């Protein structure tokens, strides 16, 4: 119901807005939240409950709301699980309930069964009966709230890094005061003020109706803040509709900001984005996060139109709406009287039920009585009446029986029950300080008896707490508290301030004078006393958990699901702890809280990803030859971050046809490949040679200038980490090549040895991967082409031998030509300055036409190298393979004076066991069957004894070949083993294979000199 | 995310510019061949896994690529001290 406009309302009646909720059209106004507009339209039901399918209404007015979850918009702008209380209304808004209260679904149908379904029901019922696999799918479809989005998010999200001296979290009276105090007390300290609501002021707006001084203070403070910001926007940033949801190490705090309406916003860097994730690093934090009200507990406390008292108050004051006409307020502290008085200002009658006995009354109670509000002191609500919505309450007189020396006073219900009719019940069981953020990164809480709440630990480095989160409720006191704390912050920043703490007024209607939790067992033992509305957790679930031995609050939480879900128990959790304390007969402080972890509220995946989606997900690296590959119609694969040609299909070939053609060309005439992506490290210095012989397993001292050598690199554990060819330019200058994917980590490892252990060696490393382009010319006719391209080098195999290099001029470009081979064929790698890559590639292609030169990609390269049994580190090895395991004992130098990296490990007995996985070849008995890579080799007992690491069809051999890691494989030559594979239709199949040498082609290496 | 002061760049930078490189002050044995398997394993595998103030190596991967030393509380994650290897060496010498 909409009320008459009044001064403190933020709703603008001159700007009506239309929106759709659950397929029905409604009207609201600018300044409304979706929730307040729906309350104005007398919408009662927002959700069907998670487990029991009960219809649920709205409870809160902000971030604490557990029930009114909606999916906003559709298609590319669809956002699931938003709280209706946090969405600012805009024209044309369209939302549906996350679980529609009006549909008769499976959940609604099982509702009558709910009393047979306590916590743990599904697990106990189905897992023990071994039918879980049958029912799992059905049950999973019932779980969760909104449906996941189906299409790509069409919005853009941004990240902004912020650095500041002081971050004030919470823009209510405490946060505003603290920010002003810091700004006036320091000339340099930068401040960021963050609040989750669209407007500053927090709960202070509730005072505007009754307290003129509050309005005046607010206007003045807001004006001052705006002035600071406008004068120097590096001094103060005000982020509204922005939630600080996580506090990580070293004061790194993440804040998610949205346009209040959920529409796109233009943020401070001038870009448009749906939401902005601020990554804030701050020196000091001032927490002014306020408190959430908690409800009272009674039977069927989940009916629609049972709300929180402070929320009812906010709906009237801020939005001019109220959800009922006959209102009962029920609670254990003075805040319910404020709500009653505010209601009376709108001529709405209410009755107050206060569990506290009469006598010793505060001003506010006297004031309420004076204006004729009917007050039942020493009474409690035992039960809410009504089917799906509240129609009345059963109340009864209660009595507190203090039982010293017992830790907790007990309640007793006395007298008869009577019924009061109502259509709205608003309750307040006290306030839970929002300690979440403070606990994310090591902060502890303690239980405070006066406020009956968990408060943040008093002292913490680089952090202050003030206002309601510090159990200071009265707004003028929050202001004083904030000033006091801001002075401490200033002094911690090194400002010369006089820290002169002012005393709080301690006005009597401090909301934090809360009576003991009203949790008599007569009520807790009734069914349908809900603690956590979002997860349908009742008091009896907690009792069951405790009975079954799950007594730690962390166990109770997980057994019952209390405090899970999108609201993370903001209203229910502390009540749950109180209930557990009652059943356990233990003090609250001993029961303690569950652990608060990030995130405080839901964070969109889109916001986390920011702009790092699509093409920006990962950096993409291209060689200078890339465009030529594209023109040739290459298909690419990503290796590391490089886009490497995978194969070059011609005339509609598939990958197999293309690879067969490419391989045949290389073996019979001439192929060419872009090898620019291999990592290249330039190594210079007097001790370069010594350095290589320390990090590689083989000998380097005698490698002459003009020569190249293959090296295998291990770590100290003796495991292979990389391989590649290094070239001796001169005695003090080498160029090492690494695997494409391993370049960065090898470089980093080499630097580590040089910087941390061998700083006395004269060696300097520089990554030159991007400085050179490499074109490999491969095949028996390679020499003929090289003679044509490079007349100033003698390519005769007697003078330019395998594993040598020569400087030369290729098509007029200065080049280093290495005669090395990864295919077993005669091959030359032409290295030129990177920018000549495309030119040389195209020249090689043109001049090579005579021999039908064929560009080939990584797939053919793999086939060619596998035919020769050359390993690929990372494919045929996995970080647990020694050189012995891959049958490369020949590369382990015996007589190097320095015990090279990994050497000592080779003599450890475990690494010499015959039982290790060893690299072998596998030949399928049916030579046309190509094994899938990763398939396991199984023993006759069906246990894995190894797996296939590389597997291809070899066109030159006309059969399949595979490399595999097999237990004790090197002593199993010619034996038959079984490889288990899954076939698409026929299911599992065992393929017999013969264990063979890993060299399949040109076993004696006769091809490496090519054709003369 | 930690904020680490790089002793070479002389500025605090976010953790994602750095990579951890294990416990500090574990010297490579002078003569590995003279060690027993147990002594070698102790060097290769065993670390103190300290609860308290812990010296560790970090490298400024996306910055100056220098390795340096960080003394960090493994309880609060507070960085207590950063130093270059040279600084520690000269400290030990004096």
Last residue of a domain, one of A83, A115, A147: A115
Helix (H) or strand (E) holding A223: helix A212-231
Predicted confidence (pLDDT) per residue in A783-814, tens digit: 999 999 999 999 999 999 999 999 999 999 99
User: Residue A701: left if φ>0, alpha if ψ -120 to 50, beta else—which one?
Assistant: alpha
Residue whose tokens read 């290796």: A639
Confidence band of A509 (pLDDT split at 50, 70, 90): low
A442/B76 Cβ within 8 A: yes
A898 inside 8 A of chain B by CB: no
B43/A281 Cβ within 8 A: no
- A895 vs chain B: nearest CA distance in angstroms? 12
* SS3 label, residue A716: coil
Mean pLDDT in residue range A87-114: 78
Owning domain of residue B72: 3-93
Q: What residue of B is the nearest CA neighbor of A460?
A: B76
A612 inside 8 A of chain B by CB: no
A904/B35 Cβ within 8 A: yes
Dist. CA A768–CA A988, nearest whole Å:
48
A909/B37 Cβ within 8 A: yes
B77/A250 Cβ within 8 A: yes
Q: What b/e readout covers A557-586, taking b as 16+ CB neighbours within 10 angstroms?
A: bbbbbbbbbbbbbbbbbbbbbbbbbbbbee
DSSP B29: P
In a domain, A804, yes or no: no
In a domain, A558, yes or no: yes
In a domain, A508, yes or no: no
Last residue of a domain, one of A476, A492, A508: A492
β strands within A229-274, DSSP E = 236-239, 242-248, 252-258, 265-266, 272-273
Owning domain of residue A397: 295-428
A895 inside 8 A of chain B by CB: no
Q: Are A831 and A816 in contact (CB under 8 A)?
A: yes
Name chain B contacts of A250, Cβ cutoff 8 Å. 1-3, 77-79
- A902 vs chain B: nearest CA distance in angstroms? 10
Asked whether residue A309 falls in the same domain as residue A374, the answer is yes
> Tokens standing for A962?
């595979």
- Is the bond leading into A405 cis (omega within 30 degrees of zero)? yes
Q: Determine the pLDDT at residue A172.
A: 96
Confidence band of A261 (pLDDT split at 50, 70, 90): low
A755/B1 Cβ within 8 A: no
Is residue A916 predicted with pLDDT exceeding 80? yes
A-B contacts (CB, under 8 Å):
58
Is residue A209 predicted with pLDDT exceeding 90? no
Helix (H) or strand (E) holding A609: helix A605-609
What does R_g of chain A's alpha carbons equal in angstroms?
A: 37
Dist. CA A34–CA A22, nearest whole Å:
12
Asked whether residue A539 falls in the same domain as residue A560, the answer is yes
Q: Considering its fold, how many domains does chain B have in total?
A: 1
Q: What residue of B is the nearest CA neighbor of A752?
A: B67
A249/B77 Cβ within 8 A: yes
* Average confidence score pLDDT of chain A: 92
Q: Considering its fold, how many domains does chain A have in total?
A: 4
Q: Determine the pLDDT at residue A985.
A: 81
Dist. CA A99–CA A53, nearest whole Å:
9
Dist. CA A655–CA A11, nearest whole Å:
65
Asked whether residue A461 falls in the same domain as residue A572, the answer is no
Predicted confidence (pLDDT) per residue in A19-51, tens digit: 999 999 999 999 999 999 999 999 999 998 888
Among A621, A659, A625, A622, which Cα is nearest to A845's?
Answer: A625
B2/A249 Cβ within 8 A: yes
Predicted confidence (pLDDT) per residue in B50-74, tens digit: 999 999 999 999 999 999 999 999 9
What is the separation of C-alpha A894 from the centre of its chain, rounded to a whole number of angstroms? 50
Q: What residue of A is the nearest CA neighbor of B18?
A: A748
Predicted confidence (pLDDT) per residue in A350-371, tens digit: 999 999 988 878 888 999 999 9
Name chain B contacts of A756, Cβ cutoff 8 Å. 21, 57, 67, 85
Q: Which residues contact A675 (CB under 8 A, 6 or more apart)?
A: A774, A775, A776, A829
Q: What residue of B is the nearest CA neighbor of A765?
A: B65
A249 inside 8 A of chain B by CB: yes
Q: Determine the pLDDT at residue A407.
A: 55
Q: Determine the pLDDT at residue A105.
A: 62
Is residue A403 predicted with pLDDT exceeding 60? no
A905 inside 8 A of chain B by CB: yes
Is residue B77 predicted with pLDDT exceeding 80? yes
Predicted confidence (pLDDT) per residue in A104-119, tens digit: 666 666 666 666 677 7
Last residue of a domain, one of A601, A635, A663: A601
- B3 vs chain A: nearest CA distance in angstroms? 6
In a domain, A555, yes or no: yes
A755/B85 Cβ within 8 A: yes
CATH number of the CATH domain containing B84: 3.30.2270.10
* SS3 label, residue A298: coil
- A764 vs chain B: nearest CA distance in angstroms? 13
In a domain, A388, yes or no: yes
Give the C-alpha distances (Å, rounded to integers) separating A635 from A127, A632, A658, A773: 48, 9, 11, 20
Dist. CA A71–CA A783, nearest whole Å:
68
Name chain B contacts of A165, Cβ cutoff 8 Å. none
Q: By a Cβ cutoff of 8 Å, what residues of chain B touch chain A?
A: 1-3, 14, 19, 21, 27-28, 31-33, 35, 37, 40-41, 43-45, 57, 59, 61, 65-67, 76-79, 85
Confidence band of A1011 (pLDDT split at 50, 70, 90): confident
Asked whether residue A42 falls in the same domain as residue A91, the answer is yes
> Per-residue DSSP letters for A942-988?
S-EEEEEEEEEEETTTTEEEEEEEEETGGG-TT-EEEEEEEETTTEE
Confidence band of A500 (pLDDT split at 50, 70, 90): confident
A755/B66 Cβ within 8 A: yes
Percent of chain A with pLDDT over 90: 78
Least confident of A196-210, A260-274, A306-320, A442-456: A260-274
Asked whether residue A408 falls in the same domain as residue A470, the answer is no
Q: Determine the pLDDT at residue A110.
A: 63
In a domain, A606, yes or no: no
Q: Determine the pLDDT at residue A358.
A: 86
Q: Which residues contact A795 (CB under 8 A, 6 or more apart)?
A: A783, A786, A787, A828
Helix (H) or strand (E) holding A313: helix A309-319
Asked if ipTM goes beyond 0.90, one says: yes
B79/A908 Cβ within 8 A: no
Mean pLDDT in residue range A239-263: 89
CATH number of the CATH domain containing A222: 3.50.50.60
Distance between start and end Cα atoms, chain A: 97
Q: What residue of A is the nearest CA neighbor of B80?
A: A250
Asked whether residue A260 falls in the same domain as residue A371, the answer is no
What is the separation of C-alpha A916 from the centre of its chain, rounded to a whole number of angstroms? 39
Q: Are A901 and A715 in contact (CB under 8 A)?
A: yes
> Per-residue DSSP letters for A351-408?
EEEESSPSSS--HHHHHHHHTT-EEEETEEEEEEESSSB--EEEEEEEEEE--TTSSS
Asked whether residue A355 falls in the same domain as residue A409, the answer is yes
> Cβ of A348: how many Cβ atoms within 10 Å?
18
- A753 vs chain B: nearest CA distance in angstroms? 10
Chain A interface test: which of B7, B65, B86 (most A C-beta within 10 Å): B65
Predicted confidence (pLDDT) per residue in A747-788, tens digit: 999 999 999 999 999 999 999 999 999 999 999 999 999 999
- A268 vs chain B: nearest CA distance in angstroms? 22
β strands within A321-367, DSSP E = 327-331, 350-354
Q: Determine the pLDDT at residue A53.
A: 82
Asked whether residue A389 falls in the same domain as residue A454, the answer is no
Asked whether residue A341 falls in the same domain as residue A405, the answer is yes
Asked whether residue A286 falls in the same domain as residue A389, the answer is no
Least confident of A72-86, A167-181, A420-434: A72-86
Dist. CA A744–CA B16, nearest whole Å:
16
Confidence band of A262 (pLDDT split at 50, 70, 90): low
Asked whether residue A551 falls in the same domain as residue A576, the answer is yes
A904/B27 Cβ within 8 A: no
Name chain B contacts of A252, Cβ cutoff 8 Å. 1, 3, 14
> Per-residue DSSP letters for A126-185?
IITTT-HHHHHHHHHHHSSSSPPP-S---S-EEEEEEEEEEEEE--BHHHHHHHHHHHHH
Residue whose tokens read 């309005």: A215
* SS3 label, residue A197: coil
Dist. CA A748–CA A156, nearest whole Å:
35
Is residue A405 predicted with pLDDT exceeding 80? no
B1/A249 Cβ within 8 A: yes
Asked whether residue A55 falls in the same domain as residue A105, the answer is yes
Partner B, chain A 750-769, Cβ-Cβ below 8 Å: 751-752, 755-757, 759
DSSP A894: S
């Amino acid at each position: 119901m909409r009320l008459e406009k009044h001064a403190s309302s933020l709703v603008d009646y001159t700007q009506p807005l239309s929106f759709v909720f659950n397929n029905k059209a409604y009207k609201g106004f600018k300044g409304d939240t979706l929730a307040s507009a729906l309350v104005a339209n007398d919408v009662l039901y927002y959700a069907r409950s998670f487990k029991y399918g009960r219809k649920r209404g709205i409870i809160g007015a902000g971030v604490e709301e557990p029930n009114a979850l909606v999916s906003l918009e559709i298609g590319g702008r669809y956002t699931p699980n938003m709280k209706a209380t946090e969405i600012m209304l805009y024209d044309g808004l369209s939302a549906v309930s996350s679980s529609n209260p009006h549909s008769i679904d499976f959940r609604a149908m099982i509702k009558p069964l709910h009393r047979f379904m306590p916590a743990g029901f599904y697990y106990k019922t189905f897992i023990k009966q071994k039918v879980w696999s049958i029912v799992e799918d059905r049950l999973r479809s019932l779980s969760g709230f909104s449906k996941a989005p189906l299409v790509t998010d069409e919005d853009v999200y941004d990240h902004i890094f912020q650095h500041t001296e002081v971050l004030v979290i919470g823009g209510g009276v405490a946060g505003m005061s603290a920010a002003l105090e810091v700004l006036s007390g320091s000339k340099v300290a930068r401040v960021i003020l963050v609040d989750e609501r669209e407007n500053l002021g927090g709960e202070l707006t509730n005072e505007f109706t009754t307290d003129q001084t509050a309005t005046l203070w607010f206007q003045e403070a807001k004006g001052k803040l705006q002035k600071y910001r406008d004068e120097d926007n590096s001094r103060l940033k005000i982020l509204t509709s922005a939630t600080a949801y996580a506090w990580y190490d070293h004061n790194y705090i993440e804040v998610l900001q949205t346009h209040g309406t959920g529409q796109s916003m233009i943020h401070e860097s001038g870009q448009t984005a749906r939401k902005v994730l601020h990554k804030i690093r701050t020196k000091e934090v001032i927490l002014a996060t306020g408190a959430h009200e908690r409800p009272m507990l009674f039977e069927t406390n989940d009916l629609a139109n049972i709300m929180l008292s402070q929320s009812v108050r906010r709906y009237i004051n801020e939005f001019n709406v109220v959800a009922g006409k006959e209102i009962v307020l029920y609670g254990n502290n003075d805040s319910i009287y404020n709500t009653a008085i505010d209601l009376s200002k709108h001529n709405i009658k209410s009755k107050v039920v206060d569990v506290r006995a009469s006598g010793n009354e505060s001003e506010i109670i006297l004031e309420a009585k004076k204006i004729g509000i009917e007050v039942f002191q020493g009474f409690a609500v035992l039960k809410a009446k009504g089917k799906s919505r509240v129609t009345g309450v059963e109340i009864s007189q209660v009595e507190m029986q203090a039982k010293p020396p017992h830790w907790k006073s007990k309640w007793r219900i006395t007298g008869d029950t009577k019924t009061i009719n109502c259509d709205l019940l608003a309750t307040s069981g006290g306030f839970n300080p929002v300690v979440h953020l403070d606990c994310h990164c090591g902060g502890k809480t303690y239980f405070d008896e006066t406020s009956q709440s968990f408060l943040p630990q008093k002292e913490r480095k680089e952090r202050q707490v003030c206002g309601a989160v510090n159990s200071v409720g009265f707004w003028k006191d929050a202001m004083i508290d904030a000033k006091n704390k801001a002075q401490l912050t200033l002094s911690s920043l090194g400002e010369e301030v006089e820290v002169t703490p002012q005393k709080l007024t301690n006005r009597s209607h401090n909301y934090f004078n809360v009576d003991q939790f009203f949790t008599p067992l007569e009520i807790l033992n009734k069914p349908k006393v809900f603690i956590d509305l979002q997860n349908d957790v009742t008091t009896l679930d907690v009792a069951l958990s405790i009975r079954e031995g799950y007594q730690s609050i962390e166990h109770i939480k997980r057994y019952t699901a209390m405090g899970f879900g999108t609201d993370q128990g903001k209203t229910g959790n502390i009540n749950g702890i109180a209930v557990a304390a009652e059943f356990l007969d233990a003090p609250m402080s001993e029961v303690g809280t569950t652990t608060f972890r990030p995130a405080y509220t839901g964070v969109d995946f889109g916001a986390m990803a920011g702009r790092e989606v699509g093409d920006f997900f990962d950096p993409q690296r291209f060689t200078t030859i890339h465009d030529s590959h594209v023109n040739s119609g290459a298909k690419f694969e990503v290796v590391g971050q490089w886009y490497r040609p995978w194969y070059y299909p011609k005339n509609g070939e598939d990958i197999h046809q293309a690879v067969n053609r490419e391989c045949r060309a290389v073996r019979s005439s001439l192929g060419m490949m872009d090898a620019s992506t291999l990592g290249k490290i330039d190594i210079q210095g007097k001790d370069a040679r010594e350095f290589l012989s320390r990090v590689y397993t083989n000998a380097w001292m005698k490698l002459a200038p003009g020569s190249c050598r293959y090296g295998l690199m291990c770590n100290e554990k003796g495991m292979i980490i990389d391989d590649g060819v290094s070239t001796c330019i001169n005695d003090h200058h080498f160029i090492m090549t690494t695997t494409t994917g391993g370049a960065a980590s090898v470089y980093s490892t080499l630097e580590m040895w040089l910087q941390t252990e061998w700083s006395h060696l004269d060696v300097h490393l520089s990554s030159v991967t991007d400085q050179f382009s490499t074109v490999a010319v491969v095949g028996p006719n390679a020499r003929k082409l090289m003679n044509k391209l490079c007349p100033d080098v003698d390519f005769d195999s007697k003078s330019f031998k395998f594993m040598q290099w020569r400087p030369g001029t290729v098509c007029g470009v200065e080049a280093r030509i290495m005669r090395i081979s990864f295919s077993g064929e005669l091959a030359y790698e032409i290295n030129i300055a990177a920018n000549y890559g495309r030119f040389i590639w195209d020249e090689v292609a043109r001049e090579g036409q005579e021999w039908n030169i064929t560009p080939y990609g990584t797939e053919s390269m793999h086939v060619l190298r596998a035919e020769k049994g050359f390993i690929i580190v990372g494919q045929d090895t996995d970080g647990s393979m020694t050189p012995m395991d891959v049958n490369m004992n020949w590369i382990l130098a015996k007589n190097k004076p320095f015990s090279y990296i990994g050497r000592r490990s080779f003599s450890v007995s475990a690494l010499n066991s015959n039982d290790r996985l060893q690299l072998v070849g596998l030949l399928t008995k049916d030579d046309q069957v190509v094994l899938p890579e990763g398939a396991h080799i199984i023993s006759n007992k069906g246990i894995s004894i190894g797996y296939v690491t590389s597997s291809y069809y070899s066109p030159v051999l006309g059969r399949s070949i595979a490399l595999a890691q097999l237990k004790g494989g090197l002593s199993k030559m010619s034996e038959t083993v079984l490889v288990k594979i899954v076939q698409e239709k026929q299911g599992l199949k065992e393929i017999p294979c013969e264990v063979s040498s890993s060299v399949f082609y040109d076993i004696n290496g006769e091809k490496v000199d090519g054709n003369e | 995310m930690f904020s680490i002061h790089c002793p070479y760049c002389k500025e605090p930078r976010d953790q994602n510019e750095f990579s951890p490189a294990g416990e500090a002050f574990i010297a490579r044995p002078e003569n590995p061949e003279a060690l027993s398997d147990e002594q070698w394993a102790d060097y290769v595998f065993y670390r103190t896994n300290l609860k308290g103030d812990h010296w560790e190596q970090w490298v400024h991967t996306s910055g100056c690529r220098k390795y340096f030393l960080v003394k960090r509380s493994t309880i609060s994650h507070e960085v207590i001290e950063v130093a270059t290897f040279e600084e520690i060496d000269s400290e030990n010498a004096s």
